[in-house]
Amino acid sequence: MRKRVLYFDMEKIERIEEDLAPSEREVARRAATDPRRGMVLRLDLEAAMEKLTARQREAIGFLAHGHNEQEIAEVMGISQPAVHKLLTKARITLKNIFQEGGL
């Protein structure tokens, strides 16, 4: 069974924009009930992102801003398969960090 990994724009959620997806609303609700939880999540994510290569962070940044793999490839000057590989390795690294508590 394949797990689905969700990425959230915490700044968007903190602004509580009206066009939040249901999953983003849930994150906002949880952060509102325990403000420290939102801060811990952000700090954990920032620390985990530091474990990625600069290119992986760059690709994830574009992805987080809504760009697809082809658009990221064009901006980064690499092929779409190379972007896919960067993102796949970054996701695996982040997954391992959070599942194993490797911060």
At residue 3, the pLDDT reads: 47
Region 67-75 average pLDDT: 96
- Residue 96 CA, chain-centre distance (Å), reads 14
Tokens of 8: 């959230």
Bigger pLDDT: 68 or 15?
68
**What is the second-level CATH architecture of the domain 10-100?**
Orthogonal Bundle (1.10)
Contact 13, 27 (CB under 8 A): yes
Report field, pTM of the whole predicted structure over 0.75: no
Question: Long-range CB contacts (< 8 A, 24+ apart) of 95-102?
Answer: 95/3, 95/5, 97/48, 97/51, 98/44, 98/48, 102/51
For the chain, what are the domain ranges? 10-100
